[in-house]
Amino acid sequence: GAVVSQHPSWVICKSGTSVKIECRSLDFQATTMFWYRQFPKQSLMLMATSNEGSKATYEQGVEKDKFLINHASLTLSTLTVTSAHPEDSSFYICSAQISDTQYFGPGTRLTVL
């Protein structure tokens, strides 16, 4: 089946630093990828839709200047959490779509101290 990878799988950083998370589609090309965030015991919340070659579309309440998304190729989308704060600590998951099915990456657990 389709495989989506993420890197890193976990990261711990100091408050104020920026963290980049990569999402790759390993055996297919994805013009659209999605970035989600999941806080403990809560549902996945869509943050933004990443479109190859164009600007990402952000969901209401998600700051585009804080969560920078770059989708420079058909197999790679990156999410950069700028000036991270403890409240940004969460599980970040990307997905890529084939037909009507979304395949999720393994997620990145971010802890901001």
Partner 1 sequence: RKEVEQDPGPFNVPEGATVAFNCTYSNSASQSFFWYRQDCRKEPKLLMSVYSSGNEDGRFTAQLNRASQYISLLIRDSKLSDSATYLCVVNGVGSFDKLIFGTGTRLQVFP
Question: Pick from 34, 37, 79, 84: which binds partner 1 (CB under 8 A)?
Answer: 34
- How far apart CA 94 and CA 82 sit, in angstroms, is 18
Question: Pick from 14, 27, 41, 61: which binds partner 1 (CB under 8 A)?
Answer: 41
| Residue 17 interacting with partner 1 (CB under 8 A) | no
Quick one: 42 or 73, whose CB is closer to partner 1? 42
- How far apart CA 37 and CA 24 sit, in angstroms, is 17
| Span from 12-20, 67-75, 78-86, 102-110 in contact with partner 1 (CB under 8 A) | 102-110
Quick one: 82 or 103, whose CB is closer to partner 1? 103
Binding mask 44-73 for partner 1 (x = CB under 8 A): xxx--x------------------------
Candidates 107, 79, 94, 92; CA nearest to 30 is 94
Spatial CB neighbours of 44, under 8 Å, sequence gap ≥ 6: 36, 37, 38, 93
| Residue 74 interacting with partner 1 (CB under 8 A) | no
> Strand locations in the chain, DSSP E?
4-7, 10-13, 19-25, 32-38, 45-51, 57-58, 67-73, 76-81, 90-98, 101-104, 108-112
Which residues here bind partner 1, judged by CB under 8 A?
32, 34, 41-46, 49, 91, 93, 97, 100-107, 109
